[in-house]
């Protein structure tokens, strides 16, 4: 049996809009969901997660976990906790993740993993894979955006949100494209 996948594509033109995308994604998430974030350094993974945390109503600011691999943000509103993982330095994958001994139940939390591709997929059969890329042509002379002075081409990101598995088949991902 093949695994179903649905993808929503969104163009995001500023850090504020990236945070807003996170806020718009939050209502689609449920306890036990796994979200993988892929994108180069500075792509906007943490910025998106910050918006998620805001709209989930969790405690503590979402920041880059420099000295810790994972941080648990408990819900202030009776919803799921947000577990924010930076797997950049997580070499061994899931074993190390389990060794983190997080004081929280993953099936009752929303787990967001930066740099988690190829490392933590086993945590959940279904998952949301968000890929953040720089806009094509961003390096072109004049910005590659038709020269709109108010838009900095370096700030434009193309975001692909792919829901993998039955969990995401009718979860309303396509609405993210409506902006
Ligand atoms: N459209 C955009 N979306 C998100 N961030 C943007 C955008 N345009 C510019 N930025 C800037 O890019 C940086 C993104 O930083 P962020 O920490 O979110 O990246 P990251 O993908 O988590 O990086 P790392 O891999 O180091 O964890 C911020 O400084 C932000 O202001
Ligand atoms: Mg980050």
Q: Which of 5, 7, 33 is nearest to 173 (CA)?
A: 7
- Distance (angstroms) between ligand 1 centre and the Cα of 15 equals 7
Number of other CB atoms surrounding residue 6 within 10 Å = 16
Asked whether residue 33 is domain-assigned, the answer is: yes
Number of domains in the chain: 1
Q: Distance between CA 70 and CA 56 in Å, rounded?
A: 18
Q: Does 169 score more than 60 pLDDT?
A: yes
- Distance (angstroms) between ligand 1 centre and the Cα of 17 equals 11
Distance of CA 115 to the CA centre of its chain: 10
Asked whether residue 30 is domain-assigned, the answer is: yes
Q: Does 140 score more than 70 pLDDT?
A: no
Asked whether residue 143 is domain-assigned, the answer is: no
- Which of 42, 143, 157 for mutating ligand 1's site (highest number of atoms within 8 Å of CB)? 42
Q: Dump pLDDT digits (tens) for 37-56.
A: 999 999 999 999 999 999 99
Determine the pLDDT at residue 48.
98
Range of 60's domain?
5-137+152-176
What three-state secondary structure class fits 76? coil
Ligand 1: atom nearest CA of 43 is 21
Determine the pLDDT at residue 89.
77
Asked whether residue 142 is domain-assigned, the answer is: no
Angle, in degrees to the nearest 10, between helices 45-56 and 15-25: 50
Ligand 1: atom nearest CA of 44 is 18
Asked whether residue 58 is domain-assigned, the answer is: yes
Beta carbons within 8 Å of 80's beta carbon, 6+ residues apart? 29, 30, 31, 32, 56, 108, 109, 110
Query: What's the CATH code of the domain at 157?
Result: 3.40.50.300
Ligand 1: atom nearest CA of 114 is 27
Q: Dump pLDDT digits (tens) for 56-83.
A: 999 999 998 666 788 999 999 999 999 9
Asked whether residue 146 is domain-assigned, the answer is: no
Query: Which listed ligand is nearest to 40 at the C-alpha?
Result: 1
Asked whether residue 46 is domain-assigned, the answer is: yes
Q: Which of 71, 84, 155, 82 is nearest to 114 (CA)?
A: 84
**CA-based radius of gyration for the chain:** 16
Ligand 1: atom nearest CA of 155 is 8
Q: Distance between CA 63 and CA 19 in Å, rounded?
A: 12
Asked whether residue 120 is domain-assigned, the answer is: yes
Q: Does 141 score more than 70 pLDDT?
A: no
Q: What is the chain's mean pLDDT, rounded?
A: 87
In order of 5, 121, 154, the CA distances from 2 in angstroms are 9, 16, 38
Q: Does 163 score more than 90 pLDDT?
A: yes
Cα angle at 137 between 35 and 7, to 5 degrees?
30
Mean pLDDT of 150-177: 92
Ligand 1 proximal residues by C-beta, below 6 Å: 12-15, 18, 39, 41-47, 64, 114, 155, 157
Query: Which listed ligand is nearest to 37 at the C-alpha?
Result: 1
Q: Dump pLDDT digits (tens) for 106-136.
A: 889 999 999 988 888 888 889 999 999 997 7
The share of the chain scoring above pLDDT 90, in percent, equals 63
């Amino acid at each position: 049996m093949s695994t179903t996948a649905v993808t929503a594509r969104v163009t995001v033109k500023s850090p504020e809009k990236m945070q807003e995308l996170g806020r718009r994604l939050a209502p689609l998430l449920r306890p036990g969901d796994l979200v993988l974030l892929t994108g180069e350094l500075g792509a906007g993974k943490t910025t998106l997660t910050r918006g998620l945390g805001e709209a989930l109503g969790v405690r503590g600011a979402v920041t880059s976990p420099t000295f810790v691999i994972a941080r648990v943000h408990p819900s202030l509103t009776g919803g799921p906790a947000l577990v924010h993982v930076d797997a950049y330095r997580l070499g061994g994958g899931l074993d190390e993740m389990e060794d983190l001994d997080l004081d929280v139940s993953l099936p009752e939390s929303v787990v967001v993993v930066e740099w988690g591709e190829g490392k933590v997929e086993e945590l959940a059969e279904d998952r949301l894979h968000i890929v953040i890329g720089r806009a094509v042509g961003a390096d072109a002379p004049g910005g590659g955006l038709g020269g709109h002075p108010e838009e900095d081409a370096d700030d434009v990101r193309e975001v692909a949100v792919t829901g993998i598995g039955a969990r995401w088949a009718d979860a309303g991902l396509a609405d993210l494209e409506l902006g």
